[in-house]
Amino acid sequence: MEYKKDLKTKKAVERNIEIIGEAINRILKEKPDFSIENARNIVGTRNKIIHSYDNISDEIIWTIIVRELPKLKVEVQGYLQS
Protein backbone atom coordinates (compact mmCIF):
# COMPACT_ATOMS: atom_id res chain seq x y z
CA MET A 1 0.00 0.00 0.00
CA GLU A 2 1.51 3.32 -1.12
CA TYR A 3 -0.22 5.14 1.72
CA LYS A 4 1.99 3.41 4.31
CA LYS A 5 5.14 4.61 2.55
CA ASP A 6 4.16 8.28 2.25
CA LEU A 7 4.71 9.89 5.64
CA LYS A 8 3.74 13.35 4.41
CA THR A 9 0.36 12.12 3.15
CA LYS A 10 -0.23 10.06 6.29
CA LYS A 11 0.36 13.07 8.53
CA ALA A 12 -1.83 15.30 6.34
CA VAL A 13 -4.68 12.78 6.44
CA GLU A 14 -4.37 12.34 10.21
CA ARG A 15 -4.38 16.11 10.68
CA ASN A 16 -7.53 16.45 8.61
CA ILE A 17 -9.23 13.69 10.59
CA GLU A 18 -8.28 15.61 13.75
CA ILE A 19 -9.87 18.77 12.32
CA ILE A 20 -13.05 16.93 11.34
CA GLY A 21 -13.25 15.38 14.82
CA GLU A 22 -12.75 18.73 16.52
CA ALA A 23 -15.41 20.37 14.35
CA ILE A 24 -17.92 17.63 15.14
CA ASN A 25 -17.06 17.85 18.83
CA ARG A 26 -17.80 21.59 18.85
CA ILE A 27 -21.05 21.10 16.94
CA LEU A 28 -22.19 18.41 19.40
CA LYS A 29 -21.65 20.81 22.30
CA GLU A 30 -23.95 23.38 20.68
CA LYS A 31 -26.41 20.99 19.02
CA PRO A 32 -26.68 17.74 20.99
CA ASP A 33 -29.25 16.44 18.50
CA PHE A 34 -26.73 16.66 15.64
CA SER A 35 -27.52 13.64 13.49
CA ILE A 36 -24.27 12.33 12.06
CA GLU A 37 -24.28 8.54 12.44
CA ASN A 38 -20.79 8.04 13.87
CA ALA A 39 -20.25 11.45 15.46
CA ARG A 40 -18.95 10.08 18.77
CA ASN A 41 -16.63 7.62 17.00
CA ILE A 42 -15.21 10.44 14.87
CA VAL A 43 -14.47 12.49 17.99
CA GLY A 44 -12.93 9.41 19.63
CA THR A 45 -10.68 8.80 16.64
CA ARG A 46 -9.58 12.43 16.77
CA ASN A 47 -8.65 11.97 20.42
CA LYS A 48 -6.73 8.77 19.69
CA ILE A 49 -4.72 10.44 16.93
CA ILE A 50 -3.94 13.57 18.95
CA HIS A 51 -2.96 11.73 22.11
CA SER A 52 -1.45 8.67 20.37
CA TYR A 53 -3.68 6.31 22.31
CA ASP A 54 -2.98 2.80 21.08
CA ASN A 55 -1.05 4.22 18.10
CA ILE A 56 -3.70 4.12 15.41
CA SER A 57 -2.69 1.76 12.65
CA ASP A 58 -2.38 2.65 8.99
CA GLU A 59 -5.08 0.08 8.25
CA ILE A 60 -7.56 1.86 10.51
CA ILE A 61 -6.82 5.24 8.92
CA TRP A 62 -7.08 3.71 5.44
CA THR A 63 -10.45 2.18 6.32
CA ILE A 64 -11.65 5.58 7.49
CA ILE A 65 -10.49 7.15 4.21
CA VAL A 66 -12.09 4.53 1.97
CA ARG A 67 -15.22 3.57 3.88
CA GLU A 68 -16.15 6.23 6.41
CA LEU A 69 -15.26 9.60 4.85
CA PRO A 70 -17.47 9.11 1.77
CA LYS A 71 -20.44 8.30 4.05
CA LEU A 72 -19.65 11.29 6.24
CA LYS A 73 -19.55 13.56 3.20
CA VAL A 74 -23.04 12.43 2.14
CA GLU A 75 -24.38 12.90 5.69
CA VAL A 76 -22.92 16.40 6.03
CA GLN A 77 -24.24 17.42 2.62
CA GLY A 78 -27.70 16.18 3.61
CA TYR A 79 -27.50 18.02 6.92
CA LEU A 80 -26.49 21.26 5.21
CA GLN A 81 -29.37 20.98 2.74
CA SER A 82 -31.98 20.46 5.47
Mean pLDDT, consecutive 10-residue segments, the chain of 82 residues? 88 95 94 86 93 83 94 92 86
17: CB partners within 8 A, 6+ apart: 42, 45, 46, 49, 61, 64
d(CA 45, CA 14): 10
Virtual torsion, Cα 31, 33, 37, 39, nearest 10 deg = 40
Q: HSE-up of 59 (CA within 13 Å, CB side)?
A: 0
Given 15, 26, 46, 67, the catalytic residue = 46
Domain assignments of the chain as residue spans, ordered by start: 2-81
Residue 26 catalytic?
no
Q: What is the pLDDT of residue 1?
A: 72
Given 15, 26, 40, 51, the catalytic residue = 51
Residue 67 catalytic?
no
CB atoms within 10 A of CB 50: 14
* Stated pTM of the model: 0.86
